[in-house]
Structure 1
Amino acid sequence: MKQVLKNEHIRLVINHQGAEMTSLINLATQTEHLWQGDPAIWPWHAPNLFPVVGGQTNDQIVVDGQAYPMKRHGFARNSEFINTECTPTYASFELRSSPETKAMYPYDFIFEIIYELDGPDVIIEYKVRNLSETNMFLSLGAHPAFNVPFAPGEDYTDYYIEFDRDGSLETSLLGPDGLLSGEKGRIHLEERQLNLTPNLFDNDALVLLSLKSRKVSLCSRKNDHRITLEFGMFPYLGLWAKPGAPFVCIEPWLGVADTANRPMPIEGKQGIHRVTPKTSFIAHYYLGVV
């Protein structure tokens, strides 16, 4: 099942599986901005990541000394959410803990994802309620993939990601297992711009853990339209595309993959958040279409 939100600027479609955005259309240009999930290349559109971000050592998390199976980016993206409220410009989706989730993540919780249209912007809010009697530890994040190019007659290399602050980018490198290797790299920006090239992601994602910018835009040198993400509550950012594929992912993260050879209990993970019993954790970001 899917929910459709629409105002005079944009049309947004959300799938109940994963509460995932599957279409984002600029109504002024009739441009589809979300990658349409070609299964031969990458089958997702904009998965929501919970209760972990990235790869986990041995595909496990350790809670109170016990290991639980946990695949990369968690289980929310494969889970069926319930649509709890919907208006023409607002929709909320809910995932509750179950015996199936507790076999992987031993907490009682409600994970709510809310989408609201505000002019040309989409406000995406995450809310996690800890129903347990103990502290709950979590990470979460977004993984939207945007079509590049926006318009016919343009090329991938006509596009760039513009950062709102100057400076080069320090990247935390990933190993072949998808875990952080502990090594760093550096990418120079030209006038706050990171140029998109077919080989930019040959060595996997660019993982930015010390980023000063709180806003980035996906822009073209051949038209004035852009996609902008503001993610002030998210300390980390991932950039990724399948090498040679016509999209780019811009991913605000509240968490990060494990570091190779440094297994940690869940409470010791980098970027982990503690939610005390019977309280909620809330974070949001903005996605603008101009």
Structure 2
Amino acid sequence: MHILKNDSLEIKIKPRGAELSAINSIKNNKGFMWHADPDVWGGHAPNLFPVIGCMKDDSYTYDGKTYPMTKHGFVRRNDDFKVISKSETEIIFRISSNDDLYKMFPFQFELDIYYKLNDNILTINHMVRNIDTKTIYFSLGGHPAFTCPLYENESYEDYILEFEKAENSQSYLLNMENGLVTDKTKPAFTTDNTIQLRGDLFNEDALIFKDLKSRTVTLKHKTKGNILTVKFKDFPYLGIWAKPNAPYVCIEPWIGIADSETTNQKIEDKEGIIALDAASVFNASYSIEIDKRHLV
């Protein structure tokens, strides 16, 4: 386990998948990340690469060949990450293409995941380097799960997600049998900029947004105010998810999305895919800010 620490927060990151696993207050030891109960959902904050969500038939095609690819890609449970640099408040992990990964993803790449702690804010940056001689195609995203409710004697329904701007976006529905995105939508917002959390909110799986105006969302108690804020300026898609009636909520910044039901399975045509030219670098970051009222 790797630990970052300052006067406000202690951050824990697992070597496997370079997965953020804890954000704890130094002064009161309050934990803000879901504890990954395997009987409910065993993740904390998986890193998603090189795809988001499910692929049709767990595969895709490139240059006339078919390649296997499981849900959310191969990074989240990967033990091949290496620590490139580390200090008390910063750490950089790297995973590079190899023979095993090339069987699933026929591109030469390096992915750095960079955690930086500054006061009460944790920033997670993703840097993808194309070290191939051809264009590479990928998506990436985060999947952080936050404890909700945060305190005893509270209920899930005491909490809302508050967006920075008024929204008219609707959530795209998944096909529950294969995890593919349909063209059907449903309303998700309770007011023009809030979503009321409730135990049955995710009975039809994740809320998936393609066209939000906001790039900031806050987990908020109805009377006690802000708990934490996720800023995702570089991520055009957002997922909101939890297991039904589970005591957490995932706020998931995405560049990319699961396959649609009508996909032709060509990775270069996949919705939200990034096409990165040879010898080029791509960066995207999001941040998690813990409200200071909960750190004393």
State how 1:261-280 maps to structure 2 within 5 Å.
261-280=262-281
State how 1:249-260 maps to structure 2 within 5 Å.
249-260=250-261
Deviates more, 1:93-102 or 1:258-267: 258-267
**TM-superposition CA deviations, 1:81-126 (whole Å, max 9, x none):** 1111110000000001111110100111111000001111011100
2:18 corresponds to 1:19 = yes
Alpha-carbon contact 1:53-1:256 (below 8 Å) kept: yes
2:91 corresponds in structure 1 to 91
2:282 corresponds to 1:281 = yes
2:130 corresponds in structure 1 to 130
2:51 corresponds to 1:52 = yes
1:37 corresponds in structure 2 to 36
2:159 corresponds in structure 1 to 159
2:8 corresponds in structure 1 to 9
State how 1:166-245 maps to structure 2 within 5 Å.
166-176=166-176, 177-190=178-191, 192-245=193-246
In the alignment of these two chains, the number of paired residues is 289
Identity, in percent, stands at 36
Deviates more, 1:219-228 or 1:132-141: 219-228
Alpha-carbon contact 1:26-1:289 (below 8 Å) kept: no
**Length-normalised TM-score, structure 1:** 0.97
Deviates more, 1:20-29 or 1:117-126: 20-29
**Unaligned stretches of 5+ in structure 1?**
none
Distance, in Å, in 1 between the alignment partners of 2:284 and 2:35 is 26
**Length-normalised TM-score, structure 2:** 0.95
1:82 corresponds in structure 2 to 82
Alpha-carbon contact 1:57-1:263 (below 8 Å) kept: no
Letter of the aligned partner of 1:96 in structure 2? S
| Aligned Cα root-mean-square deviation (Å) | 1.1
**TM-superposition CA deviations, 1:146-200 (whole Å, max 9, x none):** 0001111111111110000013331111001110012122223325221100000
2:72 corresponds to 1:73 = yes
**Unaligned stretches of 5+ in structure 2?**
292-296
* 1:28 CA displacement: 4.0
Letter of the aligned partner of 2:288 in structure 1? L
Letter of the aligned partner of 1:12 in structure 2? I
**TM-superposition CA deviations, 1:225-264 (whole Å, max 9, x none):** 4110111110000000000110000000000001113223
- Give 3-state SS (helix, strand or coil) of 1:77's partner: coil
Letter of the aligned partner of 2:116 in structure 1? E
Call closer, same or farther: CA 1:28–1:217 in 2, change over 3 Å: farther
Distance, in Å, in 2 between the alignment partners of 1:18 and 1:188 is 33
2:149 corresponds in structure 1 to 149
Alpha-carbon contact 1:169-1:189 (below 8 Å) kept: no
Distance, in Å, in 2 between the alignment partners of 1:225 and 1:167 is 19
Distance, in Å, in 2 between the alignment partners of 1:245 and 1:141 is 22
Alpha-carbon contact 1:144-1:250 (below 8 Å) kept: yes
Distance, in Å, in 2 between the alignment partners of 1:126 and 1:234 is 11
- Give 3-state SS (helix, strand or coil) of 1:157's partner: helix
* 1:30 CA displacement: 2.1
Letter of the aligned partner of 1:6 in structure 2? K
- Give 3-state SS (helix, strand or coil) of 2:157's partner: helix
* 1:279 CA displacement: 1.3
Distance, in Å, in 1 between the alignment partners of 2:9 and 2:197 is 25
- Give 3-state SS (helix, strand or coil) of 2:17's partner: coil
* 1:72 CA displacement: 0.6
Deviates more, 1:166-175 or 1:236-245: 166-175
Distance, in Å, in 1 between the alignment partners of 2:30 and 2:62 is 45
Deviates more, 1:221-230 or 1:132-141: 221-230
